[in-house]
Amino acid sequence: MSSSSPRLIVLDRDGVINEDLWGYVTKTEDFSPIEGSLDAIARLTKAKFLIYIATNQACINKGLINEVKLNEIHEYMLNLINDFGGKIELITFCPHTPDEKCQCRKPETGLLEKIEKHAGRSLKGSFFIGDKESDWICAEKFGCTPLLVKTGYGEKTISSMVTFPKERIFKNLFAAVEYILS
The catalytically annotated residue of 14, 20, 131, 135 is 14
User: How many angstroms separate the CA atoms of 83 and 80, rounded?
Assistant: 5
User: How many angstroms separate the CA atoms of 182 and 171, rounded?
Assistant: 16
Is 12 marked active-site? yes
Is 131 marked active-site? no
The catalytically annotated residue of 12, 20, 131, 135 is 12
Judge contact between 96 and 102, C-beta under 8 A: yes
Q: Residue 85: beta bridge partners?
A: none
User: How many angstroms separate the CA atoms of 182 and 177, rounded?
Assistant: 8
CA 168 vs CA 3, 134, 164: distances in Å: 24, 15, 7
User: How many angstroms separate the CA atoms of 47 and 165, rounded?
Assistant: 26
Crossing angle (nearest 10°) for helices 37-46 and 67-83: 70
How many beta carbons lie within 10 A of that of residue 23, not counting itself?
A: 10
Q: Which helix (H) or strand (E) holds 145?
A: strand 145-149
Q: Active-site residues: which are they?
A: 12, 14
